[in-house]
Amino acid sequence: MTEAKPERQILKIEKQIELSVPPETVWKMLTDPNELTRWFPLEARITPGQGGEISLSWGPTYEGGASIEIWEPNRKIAWAETSAGLPLRVEWTIESRGGKTLLRLVQSSFASGADWESEFYDSTNYGWDFMLLNLRHYLERHPGEPRLVAWPRQKKELPRRQIYDKLLAPEGIFQSGTARNFSAGQRYSLRTATGEEWSGRVEFVVPARGFCVTVESLNDGLAWLTIEGAGPEHDAQLWFSLYGLPAARVKGIEDRWADALKKIFA
């Protein structure tokens, strides 16, 4: 008698966000490569239509292509790929609601039971929170403006919580005060480890994972902290989504923060 195979568990992430633009604009955000790079990847290529392909890249180690399964202009797009050896599907649904547009995301994949999958799920779930926030921030504050990204990183063989505590300590990311008491929606004003004065709004906080704030002195850009990795090594990353700033200034921001992260973990 053949033993029945256990059913494979489906891991699913579901998000939604309300946007103050028409469905046609939201569709463009999802299907125009130039618009995609203003809130999501660093580079994008799309062959439109069902059976076409979408390629997204955050650099050589963070890129991939997917086949487009659904292409319904201004209503729905879905693509499927294989990530880390497992099938993964992303579906976007666009719905007009009371003069605004509701954008729904469903990402689904099969679970194999591997230990790293919990980290993959948590990291992806957290990442989508930022990307959707970035989409709304772009549409509300910087529509039509190209984005430049500064992305300093520092790897360290420490537990995630220890890295998080070190970054938020007074001698960490901020010189004056601390981000430990951040709460979503509050205003903040702090001096950074690079000697800059930051002020703005706290967008969200996920303890031991990171936070996101607006930075008014960077032309109302976004600064996002994320700590990635399944251990024992973790990668402390600062991601700056910046609009209307010269490329040389953005490069300087990346260099200064790369040095600051090295000093914090020295």
pLDDT tens digits along 158-191: 999 999 999 999 889 998 767 788 999 999 999 9
**What pLDDT is stored for residue 171 in this prediction?**
85
Residue range of the domain that includes 196: 147-264
Question: Is 2 within a domain?
Answer: no
**What pLDDT is stored for residue 180 in this prediction?**
81
Which of 141, 170, 198 terminates a domain? The answer is 141
Which of 123, 141, 159 terminates a domain? The answer is 141
Average pLDDT over residues 22-33: 98
Residues 34 and 94 in one domain: yes
**What pLDDT is stored for residue 5 in this prediction?**
41
pLDDT above 60 (res 2): no
pLDDT above 60 (res 6): no
Q: How many domains does the chain have?
A: 2
Residues 20 and 130 in one domain: yes
Question: Is 88 within a domain?
Answer: yes
Residues 206 and 121 in one domain: no
pLDDT in tens, 77-89: 999 987 666 688 9
Residues 78 and 104 in one domain: yes
Which of 98, 119, 141 terminates a domain? The answer is 141
Q: What is the CATH number of the domain that holds 185?
A: 3.30.530.20
Residues 74 and 15 in one domain: yes
Residues 227 and 248 in one domain: yes
3-state SS, one letter per residue, for the chain? CCCCCCCCCEEEEEEEEEECCCHHHHHHHHHCHHHHCCCCCCEEEEECCCCCEEEEECCCCCEEEEEEEEEECCCEEEEEEEECCEEEEEEEEEEEECCEEEEEEEEEEECCCCCCHHHHHHHHHHHHHHHHHHHHHHHHHCCCCCEEEECCEEEECCCHHHHHHHHHCCCCCECCCCCCCCCCCCEEEEEECCCCEEEEEEEEEECCCEEEEEEHHHCCEEEEEEEECCCCCEEEEEEEEEECCCHHHHHHHHHHHHHHHHHHCC
Residues 15 and 129 in one domain: yes
pLDDT in tens, 211-256: 999 999 999 999 999 999 987 899 999 999 999 999 999 999 999 9
State pTM to two decimals.
0.92
**What pLDDT is stored for residue 4 in this prediction?**
43
pLDDT band for position 49 (50/70/90)? very high
Question: Is 5 within a domain?
Answer: no
